Amino acid sequence: MLWIALVLLGLSQYLLLVILSGARGDEIYSWGDFASAGGLLRHLLRSEYGTFDLISGFDRTISSALTSLLLYLLTLSRESSHLAIPSLLLSCWSAARLGPTGDCQLVAITRRLLLLWGLYVGFFHWRSNLPLHHPLYRGVLKRFHLQPNFIVFLLIGRLVAMTFRGVRRIFGNEEDREKKKQTTSRLIRVAVMVTITSLQLMSNWKDRDQSDNYAIKTFAMSLLHDLPPSSVLLTKGDLTVYPIRYLQACLLLRPDLVIMDQEMMGYDWFIRRARKRFPRVSFPPGQRLRPVGPKGFCEEEGRGKVCLKYGGVFNLREFFDENMSRRRRRREIFIVDPKDNDNSFQGRYQLVPHGYVQRVVAADEKWKPSGEEWAEDMRTKLLAVDVIAASDRFHDPESWEALVREEASEGFHRRALAMLQQAGGGGGEETTLLRLAMEAFEELLLGREGRRPIMRKRTWQACKNS
């Protein structure tokens, strides 16, 4: 009964999420439908991704499960100063060897911990379907290692205590029972544990010290700072949606903006919330956002693409029509990147660079900003890239900060490409625009060492496509 009570206690946080999100009215920021028991169950089972899957669209195989497990063991060994694997093996040996003559209570606890560790590791890596060829997903996978690692470090401490008891049995005598000897033994054990902990701190402090890490916050603020009042921003992916929501909900920055994630807009529970939360935004008839074109709804199904007539949905073009039509109150719409496979807006709308995001304008709209405005905006955005590229941490391909740098360079690439295209006509303003673009490229290529490889690649792509 105690174990059942502990499991229920661990799940109680979801009940707290339901209560708080409903009481505060910020359920628009939560993933999943908590208004019903069925919605809460779907959230717990991750049914919208695939039951207990970590990501949608990727199948799991025995090979991927074994690769994931091997990655976990290698990471665990490295992060524990190579004490974890021997500790697990010795714990298994001691749990199987010690019988009734041993410490029955401690043996029972060790067996339960090993069983819990084995169940978690086995089940998790069986269900894990993250594509590990992508460095970022390897970093995401390691976040789930914290729970089983807690058990492993308990076992390491348990084995240290057992080792001292064994040494005392071998070399001890009656005098060791004296209080002074017992105190010395305790001090030695404390010294050993402090030494192990200190080694961990020394070897991992540089990588784990986040006290000066403002990269994601800086990137999110650069996305928002020059958006027009009361405009709509459609985000895509965790890197943009959650940092921006933090700035808006917690730091109360730009509360006038309507921010919606395209991934969440693909679920009917979000559209129901959004209609109530954002009454000034017009939603087309339909329950969710899906890439519906003339042939219907298309998505990847196994190795092929399946197209179906899918009712009750709308696409980006229909959403743009509802909010940018002249017969309605026009709203400025910005988008990070369009939803995958949704090119329905092409031909009627175009995306033009606006900082690190893109502004949605009519396809026939004349768009030609002045060169000085562009140059000043590029210099402002370049400062954010400098902050991001300043730390060695951003060269770790498994970190979110590395993805921030890549996203920043991608946004700059869009702006640089547009500048070169606008400068293609020659004469007057075009010559000024070309000169400013080349000055910006020179500053990028000859600037901070950390950004040179990416920016050289982006510059070459811009020149090739212009």
Q: Identify the pLDDT of residue 177.
A: 54
CA distances from 46 to 31, 33, 42, 54, 83 (A): 10, 11, 6, 8, 34
Which one, of 314, 361, 367, lies nearest residue 335 by Cα?
361
Asked whether the beta carbons of 258 and 281 are under 8 A apart, the reply is yes
pLDDT value of position 311: 63
Tokens coding 195: 């030494």
Q: Mind spelling out the 3-state secondary structure of 114-167?
A: HHHHHHHHHHHHHHCCCCCCCHHHHHHHHHCCHHHHHHHHHHHHHHHHHHHHHH
Q: How confident is the model at residue 300 (pLDDT cuts 50, 70, 90)?
A: very low
Q: For residue 439, is pLDDT > 70?
A: no
Distance of CA 149 to the CA centre of its chain: 21
In which band, very low, low, confident or very high, does the pLDDT at 247 lie, cut at 50, 70 and 90?
very high
Q: Tell me the per-residue pLDDT of 179-194, one tens digit each, with 9 for 90 and over.
A: 555 677 677 778 887 8
Q: Does 308 have pLDDT greater than 80?
A: no
7 pLDDT above the threshold of 60: yes
For the question of whether the overall pTM of this predicted structure is more than 0.85, the answer is: no
Domain ranges of the chain: 1-45, 215-362, 371-465
Under the banding of pLDDT at 50, 70 and 90, the label for residue 174 is low
Which token pair is 78? 């490295």
Is 235 in a helix, a strand, or coil?
strand
Q: What is the largest CA-CA distance in the chain?
A: 99
Q: Assess whether pLDDT exceeds 50 at residue 301.
A: no
Local structure of residue 395 (DSSP, 8 states): G
Using the structure block, give the residue that is written with the tokens 């560790």: 117
Q: What percent of the chain has pLDDT over 70?
A: 70
**Could you please report the per-residue DSSP string of 408-424?**
HHHHHHHHHHHHHHHGG
Give the model's pLDDT for residue 70: 92
pLDDT band at 158 (very low <50, low <70, confident <90, very high): confident
Helix (H) / strand (E) element for 335: namely: strand 333-335
Give residue 351's identity as a one-letter amino acid code: L
**CB neighbour list of residue 400: distance below 8 Å, 6 or more residues apart:** 136, 139, 216, 239
Q: At residue 124, does pLDDT exceed 80?
A: yes
Under 8 Å between Cβ of 117 and 45: no
3-state helix, strand, coil in the chain (%, to 5): 60, 10, 30
Q: How far apart are CA 364 and CA 348, in angstroms?
A: 8
- Identify the band that residue 325 occupies on the pLDDT scale cut at 50, 70 and 90: confident
At CA 458, angle to CA 452 and CA 459, rounded to 5? Answer: 85
How does pLDDT run across 44-91, given as a tens digit for each residue?
777 777 667 777 767 778 888 889 999 999 999 988 878 899 889 988
